[in-house]
């Protein structure tokens, strides 16, 4: 006998208990600490901070632990926490030219003021599983580095001096636009686009950036510079009348230099694509810079033909918290809508069968019917 | 002076620059109701730019285009608001593209394509929309059994005829045509031209047709404008210009291609 | 309304901070002033996923107070997992009384249904909306659809309905059936079955629609016209069921199909569980329950 489905509440509670115990796993194995995550899974923490749009390594590490290593889930947790935090104001613009550089490379100049500093990079490692890491291997202490103290001016500034690259927009005192405080409207200015990209999904941006290299909106890019390191964040306190330092954040900045042959309105010159993300994430910063440049097509009088150049397409689909929510909501019950569709398909099948029955037997076979209804996304 | 003595469309000093490059410059003319004007010239002569400006698809760099609305008032078409402009474009104007794909919804049935303009202006009776669509399919010689088929299954000539029906269903007074026979086989072209000539005469349409094909101009138009490097270099009655061209360039055009 | 944290959580009353609530209330007021118009709002990140009711939850959080009584349904049922989860969220963050009774609720948050029991003046029905733009599947670009709304250019929607009739002999849209609100704005009723569309027309209750991911709020004020699109000769029709509810015997209600076994056995029961239970408590018996009782 059918019993109306009751006990949804108990089922949910039980599922959550199972989740908690599954997260912990075998209790004979010591529990992972958030310190361990923050200290040894730094790049995962960086990604959660970047896409979670919240610079807090402890919260990010805890989110990763709670999410059982699912980074998009952890990003979601960080975002939901961030949205409840009180907002006191906006920091002063950070000075990446004064960054305490841990890594800094340029693909456009062999040597340059401040030098090329490789820093902690996977580049040039052989991707061989290191079975020694399975045990408690203690690495050699890092070599002492005298460089990195020398000031490292931005590469694009060197080009700027020659007038070979477009001028950066002048700094404005207007409060920055913020897409977490106002809904995004199209066309969106570059400030909002950059904010959207900085929060955007690394994989999505990587795919878009890759597509521009494969001819879907060519951009002829060079890595002017990638730099990673800490910068100071300052806040101008009205009450005090001066700026106070809030702390330091680690950033990855990428300045992409793109060849541009000129258009009716613009002279031939190098143009810029910009990427800036929390933590160490070159892949994300580079992808962001390529997509930023692609999204500027219209500004330079280029035709918008490729997905990466189409701001409505890019900006509307870059957020992985939105995307995962909506894709995964298909798990929710849809039986009311499905019932409506069942009824329709049954009626139309009956009509179809009746029409068939009316036809003479020797009627020529019909062409394949089109699908019953243009499929719309289930909602 | 009665209303019919006033032009339907009036262009004054139209120019369109693309940066330093001249699209078209200093074009002025009047078009009267029921009149067919052909704009001819080689590719790059500015004729398509001119058509885009006249039909408000492109904003001119200078000059003005005015149009006599159904209520008799002359209005600057670039001063119309977006709602008025869109209404004008889907009721009193038509636009026949060279590539029918630009003028049709390729995934929507022929009936839906013709019916769209009717629904856009408020028709809400399925049976009437459908019978009007069928009537128009008949007038453009499309087999009525194809009414529920999408134009992606149609031949090039059929698509072009469908595009014409879709434009004419709201009984516009002015239709812009951009190389309507371009890209079609010669025999298909002839049939389409014949059909167009009949419809234009029956409905008393005013037409501005852009073509590089002087034979098309000869067959359809009353008047002709010859363009070169963005300027109108010669204008007059079609027979006069084609039989007795004054400008050396027009003479060259006529002698090199015109064998009607 | 309290601005301090409740005892059970470190968060503000009903989760959202008061500034955010004010911002959302302004959007709601604007939506009520322009019935059917989609008001953009700065949708917040919520602790439940996008597509799972974040819009509805933000609307409810902005209007709820300690004296309210909340009902949450999903697919017509108070007991489906997502309805339970949202109800618990408000119990926890807003310390609000909850109910499954349609008539006892002051706020009803819903996904995909409108209760069978007619709503009354003073009640608020909050819809969770995944895709607020009724033209979205005809025109994917927001810039273009906003222009279409501004100019009331809705011919394309009728072309879609025309195509349905030409191909299938009827309008093949069974849920999220487009409506015209107050004769001006084309509106998506959210993916409720079209069976529920007539309930929206001139309802004495206030109907609010929240789309979190798409950052839109819209509204149908009480006693406002909500007309389902159709043709004069193909008038709008609701989904029909050729039998009553197997449990409570109700006619003219929306039914869910329940598979009983793997031999094709099935029965049809009320989708609105509160309605069904109320009727059974009043002594109504459908085919299956009748049999069970006779046998017992």
Q: Would you list the DSSP string of A239-288? A: TTTEEEEEEEEEEEEEEEEEEE---SSS-SEEEEEEEEEESS-HHHHHHH
Chain A residue with Cα closest to C160? A374
What is the predicted pLDDT for the residue at A67? 97
Q: N- to C-terminal Cα distance for chain B? A: 39
- Domain edge (last residue) among A60, A82, A104: A82
Domains held by chain B: number: 2
Whether B239 is covered by a domain: the verdict is: yes
Whether pLDDT at A335 is above 70: yes
Whether A271 is covered by a domain: the verdict is: yes
Q: Is residue B49 domain-shared with residue B77, that is, in the same domain?
A: yes
Q: Is residue B214 domain-shared with residue B238, that is, in the same domain?
A: yes
Q: Do B119 and C162 make contact, defined as CB atoms within 8 angstroms? A: yes
Phi and psi based region of residue B218 (left: phi greater than 0; alpha: psi -120 to 50; beta: remaining) = alpha
Q: CB distance from B21 to chain A under 8 Å?
A: yes
Contact C280, C247 (CB under 8 A): yes
Q: Is residue A292 domain-shared with residue A162, that is, in the same domain?
A: yes
Q: Is residue B166 domain-shared with residue B186, that is, in the same domain?
A: no
Whether B248 is covered by a domain: the verdict is: yes
Q: Is residue B113 domain-shared with residue B152, that is, in the same domain?
A: yes
Encode chain B (260 residues) as per-residue pLDDT tens digits.
Answer: 455 689 999 999 999 998 888 999 999 999 999 999 999 998 889 999 999 999 999 999 999 999 999 999 999 999 999 889 999 999 999 999 999 999 999 989 999 999 999 999 899 999 999 999 999 999 999 999 999 999 999 999 999 999 999 999 999 999 999 999 988 888 888 899 999 999 999 999 999 999 999 999 999 999 999 999 999 999 999 999 999 999 999 998 888 764 44
Q: Is residue B167 domain-shared with residue B199, that is, in the same domain?
A: no
| Domain of residue B161, residue span | 102-171
Whether A134 is covered by a domain: the verdict is: no
Q: Is residue B178 domain-shared with residue B165, that is, in the same domain?
A: no
Q: Is residue B164 domain-shared with residue B219, that is, in the same domain?
A: no
What is the predicted pLDDT for the residue at A333? 86
Q: Is residue B26 domain-shared with residue B128, that is, in the same domain?
A: no
Tell me if the pTM is above 0.80: yes
Whether A107 is covered by a domain: the verdict is: yes
Q: Is residue B115 domain-shared with residue B164, that is, in the same domain?
A: yes
Whether B240 is covered by a domain: the verdict is: yes
Pairing between β-strand B74-76 and β-strand B62-68 as defined by DSSP bridges: antiparallel
What is the predicted pLDDT for the residue at A376? 44
Q: Is residue B86 domain-shared with residue B125, that is, in the same domain?
A: no
Domains held by chain A: number: 3
How far apart are the C-alpha atoms of B65 and B28, rounded to whole Å?
A: 9
- Domain edge (last residue) among B149, B171, B193: B171
What average pLDDT does this structure show over A49-76? 97
Q: Is residue B206 domain-shared with residue B162, that is, in the same domain?
A: no
How far apart are the C-alpha atoms of B99 and C192, rounded to whole Å?
A: 41
- Residue C200: enclosing H or E segment and its boundaries? helix C197-200
Give the pLDDT confidence of A273-309 residue by residue, as tens digits: 999 999 999 999 999 999 999 999 988 888 888 999 9
Q: Is residue A211 domain-shared with residue A118, that is, in the same domain?
A: yes
Whether pLDDT at A109 is above 90: no
How far apart are the C-alpha atoms of C90 and C87, rounded to whole Å?
A: 5
Contact C211, C131 (CB under 8 A): yes
Q: What is the DSSP letter of A216?
A: T
Band of residue A366 on the pLDDT scale cut at 50, 70, 90: very low
**Rounded to 5 degrees, what angle do the CA atoms A98, A104, A106 make?**
115
Whether A116 is covered by a domain: the verdict is: yes
ipTM of the complex, rounded to two decimals: 0.87
Q: Is residue A189 domain-shared with residue A236, that is, in the same domain?
A: yes
Chain C residue with Cα closest to A6? C79
Which residues in chain A are closer than 8 Å to C271, comparing Cβ atoms? Answer: 335-336, 339
Give the pLDDT confidence of C72-126 residue by residue, as tens digits: 999 999 988 889 999 999 999 999 999 999 999 999 999 999 999 999 999 999 9
Q: Is residue A32 domain-shared with residue A159, that is, in the same domain?
A: no
Q: How many CB atoms lie within 10 A of CB A122?
A: 8
Contact A295, A307 (CB under 8 A): no
Q: Do A8 and C79 make contact, defined as CB atoms within 8 angstroms? A: yes
Q: Is residue A154 domain-shared with residue A261, that is, in the same domain?
A: yes
How far apart are the C-alpha atoms of C84 and C79, rounded to whole Å?
A: 6
Nearest Cα of chain C lies from the Cα of B169 at a distance, in angstroms, of: 15
Whether B196 is covered by a domain: the verdict is: yes
| Domain of residue A15, residue span | 11-82
Q: Is residue A350 domain-shared with residue A219, that is, in the same domain?
A: no
Both tokens of B178, joined, read: 């951009």
Whether B97 is covered by a domain: the verdict is: no
Q: What's the CATH code of the domain at B66?
A: 3.40.50.300
Q: Is residue B158 domain-shared with residue B250, that is, in the same domain?
A: no
Nearest Cα of chain C lies from the Cα of A349 at a distance, in angstroms, of: 10
- Residue B27: enclosing H or E segment and its boundaries? strand B21-31
**Which residues of C are part of the catalytic machinery?**
36, 245, 248, 270, 276
Give the pLDDT confidence of A7-16 residue by residue, as tens digits: 677 888 899 9
Q: Is residue A341 domain-shared with residue A319, that is, in the same domain?
A: no
Question: Sign of dihedral through CA atoms C180, C186, C192, C194?
Answer: positive
Find tokens 């330091």 and name the residue. A248
How far apart are the C-alpha atoms of A282 and A131, rounded to whole Å?
A: 26
């Amino acid at each position: 006998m059918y019993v109306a489905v009751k006990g949804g509440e108990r089922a949910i509670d039980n599922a959550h208990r199972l989740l908690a115990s599954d997260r912990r796993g075998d209790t004979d194995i010591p529990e992972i600490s958030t310190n361990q995550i923050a200290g040894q899974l730094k790049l995962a923490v960086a990604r959660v901070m970047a896409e979670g749009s919240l610079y807090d390594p402890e919260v990010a590490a805890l989110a990763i632990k709670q999410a059982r290593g699912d980074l998009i889930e952890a990003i979601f947790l960080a975002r939901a926490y961030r949205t409840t935090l009180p907002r006191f104001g906006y920091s002063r613009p950070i000075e990446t030219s004064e960054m305490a550089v841990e890594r800094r490379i340029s693909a456009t100049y062999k040597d340059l003021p401040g030098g090329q500093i490789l820093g902690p990079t996977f580049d040039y490692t052989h991707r061989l599983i290191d079975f020694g890491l399975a045990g408690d291997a203690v690495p050699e202490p890092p070599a002492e580095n005298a460089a990195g103290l020398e000031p490292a001016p931005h590469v694009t500034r060197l080009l700027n001096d020659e007038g070979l690259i477009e001028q950066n927009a002048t700094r404005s005192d207007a409060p920055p636009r913020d897409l977490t405080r106002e809904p995004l409207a199209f066309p969106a200015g570059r400030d909002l686009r950059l904010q959207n990209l900085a929060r955007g999904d690394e994989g999505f941006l990587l795919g878009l950036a890759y597509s521009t290299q494969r001819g879907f909106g060519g951009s002829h890019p060079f890595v002017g510079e990638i730099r990673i390191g800490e910068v100071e964040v300052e806040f101008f306190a009205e009450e005090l009348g001066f700026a106070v330092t809030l702390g330091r954040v680690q950033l990855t900045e990428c300045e992409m230099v793109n060849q541009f042959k000129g258009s009716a309105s613009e002279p031939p010159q190098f143009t810029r694509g910009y990427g800036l993300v929390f933590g160490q994430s070159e892949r994300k910063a580079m992808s962001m810079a390529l997509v930023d440049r692609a999204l500027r097509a219209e500004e330079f009088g280029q035709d918008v033909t490729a997905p990466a150049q189409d701001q409505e397409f890019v900006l509307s689909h870059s957020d992985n918290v939105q995307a995962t929510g909506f894709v995964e909501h298909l798990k929710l019950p849809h039986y009311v809508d499905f019932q409506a569709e069942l009824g329709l398909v049954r009626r139309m099948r009956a009509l179809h069968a009746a029409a068939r029955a009316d036809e003479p037997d020797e009627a020529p076979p019909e062409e394949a019917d089109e699908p019953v209804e243009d499929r719309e996304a289930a909602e | 002076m009665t209303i019919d003595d006033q032009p339907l469309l009036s262009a004054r000093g139209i120019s369109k620059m693309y940066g330093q490059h001249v699209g078209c410059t200093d074009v002025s003319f009047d078009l009267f109701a029921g009149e067919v004007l052909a704009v001819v010239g080689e590719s790059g002569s500015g004729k398509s730019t001119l058509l885009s400006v006249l039909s408000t698809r492109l904003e001119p760099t200078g000059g003005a285009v005015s149009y006599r609305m159904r209520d008799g008032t002359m209005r600057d078409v670039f001063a119309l608001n977006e709602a008025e402009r869109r209404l004008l474009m889907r009721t009193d104007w038509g636009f026949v593209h060279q590539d029918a794909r630009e003028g049709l919804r390729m995934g929507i049935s022929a009936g839906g394509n013709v019916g769209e303009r009717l629904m856009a202006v408020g028709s809400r009776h399925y049976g009437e929309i459908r019978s009007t669509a069928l009537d128009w399919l008949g007038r453009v010689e499309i087999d009525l059994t194809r009414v529920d088929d999408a134009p992606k299954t149609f031949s090039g000539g059929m698509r072009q005829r469908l595009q014409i029906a879709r434009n004419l269903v709201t009984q516009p007074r002015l239709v812009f045509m951009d190389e309507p026979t371009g890209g079609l086989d010669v025999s298909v072209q002839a049939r389409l031209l014949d059909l167009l000539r009949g419809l234009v005469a029956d409905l008393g349409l005013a037409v501005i047709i852009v073509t590089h094909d002087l034979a098309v101009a000869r067959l359809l138009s009353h008047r002709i404008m010859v363009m070169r490097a963005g300027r109108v270099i010669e204008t007059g009655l079609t027979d006069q210009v084609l039989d007795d061209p004054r400008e050396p360039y027009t003479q060259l055009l006529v002698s090199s291609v015109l064998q009607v | 309304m309290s601005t301090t944290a409740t005892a059970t959580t470190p968060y503000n009353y009903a989760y959202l901070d008061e500034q955010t609530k004010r911002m959302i209330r302004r959007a709601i007021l604007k939506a009520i002033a322009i019935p059917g118009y989609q008001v953009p709002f700065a949708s917040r990140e919520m602790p439940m996923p996008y597509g799972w009711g974040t819009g509805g939850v933000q609307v409810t959080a902005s209007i709820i107070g300690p004296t309210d009584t909340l009902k949450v349904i999903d697919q017509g049922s108070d007991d489906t997992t997502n309805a339970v989860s949202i109800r618990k969220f408000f119990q926890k963050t807003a310390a609000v009384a909850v109910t499954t009774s349609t008539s006892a609720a002051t706020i009803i948050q819903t996904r995909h249904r409108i209760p069978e029991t007619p709503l009354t003046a003073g009640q608020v029905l909050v819809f969770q909306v995944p895709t607020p733009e009724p033209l979205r599947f005809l025109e994917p670009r927001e810039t273009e659809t906003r222009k279409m709304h501004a100019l009331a250019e809705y011919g394309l929607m009728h072309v879609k309905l025309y195509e349905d009739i030409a191909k299938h002999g009827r309008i093949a849209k069974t849920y999220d059936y487009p409506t015209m609100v107050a004769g001006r704005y084309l509106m998506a009723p959210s993916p409720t079955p079209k069976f529920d569309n007539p309930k929206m027309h001139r309802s004495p209750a206030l109907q609010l629609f929240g789309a979190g991911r798409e950052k839109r709020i819209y509204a149908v004020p009480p006693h406002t016209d909500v007309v389902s699109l159709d043709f004069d000769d193909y008038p709008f029709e609701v989904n029909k069921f050729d039998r009553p509810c197997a449990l409570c015997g109700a006619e003219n209600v929306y039914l869910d199909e329940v598979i009983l076994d793997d031999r094709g056995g099935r029965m049809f029961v009320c989708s609105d569980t509160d309605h069904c239970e109320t009727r059974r408590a009043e002594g109504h018996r459908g085919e299956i329950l009748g049999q069970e009782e006779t046998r017992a």
